[in-house]
Chain A
Amino acid sequence: MLLIDFGLVWFAAYRGVGGLKVIPFKWERLALAFLFALAVKSLILFFLVRLGVKPTAGIQLGASVLVLVLALFIIPKPNGEEAILPDQKTGLTSVTWSVVGVLFVFSVINAWFFPITESDAIWYHIRGMTFFHEIRFDSEWVVPQLKQYPPFIPLLFTYLIAFDAGFLKIFFPLMYLCLNIIFYSRVLSLTENKKMACLFTMVLATTPYFWWHGVLPFLDLTTAVFYSIGTLYWFFWIRNKMEGPIDKSAENSYAVISGVLLGLAAWTRIEFLLYDLVPVFLTLYVFSRYPDKNENSKSLKLFFSCLLLLPSIWFLTLLTFNMTLWNQIKMVGGVCIFLWILALGLTFAKWKLSESNIQLAFILMVVGYFLILFLSGSGPVPVWKKMAISFYRTSVVHIFYLFTAFLGIFVFFEKLTSLSEQKKMLGYFLILFLCTHLAIFAYAAPKWPTIGEFVYATFIQPGNSVNLSDTRGMMSFYPIFIFFISSLPFVSRGVINE
Chain B
Amino acid sequence: MNNRKWIENTILGIIVMNIFVMAFVFLIPRVQFMASHWGWKSETLMESSGARDTPNQYSETYQVANQVRNTTTEDSTVFMPADKWGFGLNRAVVIQRLYPRKVYFFGGPEVDKVFSEAFKISNSYAVFNEHWGQDLCAKQPVKYLEAKRVGLCRARR
- C-alpha spacing A494/B2, complex, angstroms: 9
Contacting pair B7 A106 (CB below 8 A): no
Contact A208 B18, CB 8 Å, known A119-B92, A126-B99: yes
1/0 contact trace for B1-36 toward A, CB 8 Å? Answer: 001101110111111011101100111001000100
Contact A117 B62, CB 8 Å, known A203-B15, A208-B22, A409-B10: yes
Residue among A166, A199, A216 making CB contact with B8, cutoff 8 Å: A199
Q: Which residues of A contact B92 (CB under 8 A)?
A: 119, 122-123, 126, 143
Residue total for B at the interface (Cβ-Cβ under 8 A): 42
Q: Which residues of B contact A212 (CB under 8 A)?
A: 22, 26, 53
Q: Is B107 an interface residue (CB 8 A)?
A: no
Residue of A nearest to B6 (CB): A494
Most buried by A among B27, B30, B57, B92: B92
Contacting pair A203 B34 (CB below 8 A): no
Give the segment of B44-52, B79-87, B134-142, B146-154 that binds chain A.
Answer: B44-52
Tell me the dominant secondary structure on chain A's binding face.
helix
Q: Considering the complex, which residues of chain B in the window 80-110 have a beta carbon less than 8 Å from any beta carbon of chain A?
A: 90-93, 95-96, 99-100, 103
Q: Is B70 an interface residue (CB 8 A)?
A: no
Q: Which residues of B contact A109 (CB under 8 A)?
A: 34
Q: Is B58 an interface residue (CB 8 A)?
A: yes
Q: Is B56 an interface residue (CB 8 A)?
A: yes
Residue of B nearest to A494 (CB): B7
Contacting pair A494 B100 (CB below 8 A): no
- C-alpha spacing A216/B81, complex, angstroms: 30
1/0 contact trace for B56-87 toward A, CB 8 Å? Answer: 11100010000000000000000000000000
Contacting pair B11 A203 (CB below 8 A): yes
Q: Is A226 an interface residue (CB 8 A)?
A: no
Residue of A nearest to B40 (CB): A113
Give the segment of A177-185, A388-396, A400-408 that binds chain B.
Answer: A400-408
Q: Is A118 an interface residue (CB 8 A)?
A: yes
A311, chain B: closest CB distance, angstroms: 26
Q: Which residues of B contact A200 (CB under 8 A)?
A: 11
Residue among A126, A129, A208, A491 making CB contact with B21, cutoff 8 Å: A208
Residue total for A at the interface (Cβ-Cβ under 8 A): 44
Contacting pair A206 B19 (CB below 8 A): yes
Q: Considering the complex, which residues of chain A in the window 72-130 have a beta carbon less than 8 Å from any beta carbon of chain B?
A: 99, 106, 109-110, 113-119, 122-123, 125-126, 129-130
Q: Considering the complex, which residues of chain A in the window 455-471 have a beta carbon less than 8 Å from any beta carbon of chain B?
A: none
Q: Which residues of B contact A113 (CB under 8 A)?
A: 34, 45
Residue among A117, A141, A199, A216 making CB contact with B56, cutoff 8 Å: A117
Q: Which residues of B contact A122 (CB under 8 A)?
A: 90, 92-93, 96
Contacting pair A133 B14 (CB below 8 A): no
Most buried by A among B6, B13, B14: B14
- C-alpha spacing A212/B12, complex, angstroms: 21
Contacting pair B11 A115 (CB below 8 A): no
A113, chain B: closest CB distance, angstroms: 6
B15, chain A: closest CB distance, angstroms: 5
Residue of B nearest to A109 (CB): B34
Contact A110 B18, CB 8 Å, known A208-B25, A494-B8: no
Contacting pair B7 A404 (CB below 8 A): no
Contacting pair A211 B103 (CB below 8 A): no
Most buried by A among B8, B50, B51, B90: B8
- C-alpha spacing A383/B42, complex, angstroms: 46
Most buried by B among A109, A117, A130, A403: A117
Residue among A133, A143, A404 making CB contact with B18, cutoff 8 Å: A404
Mark B residues whose CB is within 8 Å of A.
3-4, 6-8, 10-15, 17-19, 21-22, 25-27, 30, 34, 42-43, 45-46, 50-51, 53-54, 56-58, 62, 90-93, 95-96, 99-100, 103
Closest 5 CB pairs of A and B: A494-B7, A206-B18, A208-B22, A403-B17, A122-B92
**8 A–B contact pairs at CB < 8 A?**
A115-B43, A141-B95, A143-B91, A200-B11, A407-B11, A490-B7, A495-B4, A497-B4
Mark A residues whose CB is within 8 Å of B.
99, 106, 109-110, 113-119, 122-123, 125-126, 129-130, 133, 141, 143, 166, 199-200, 202-203, 206-208, 211-212, 216, 402-404, 406-407, 409-410, 490-491, 493-495, 497
A122-B90, A403-B18, A494-B8 are known; give 7 further A-B pairs, CB within 8 A. Answer: A106-B27, A123-B92, A141-B103, A203-B15, A216-B54, A404-B14, A404-B18
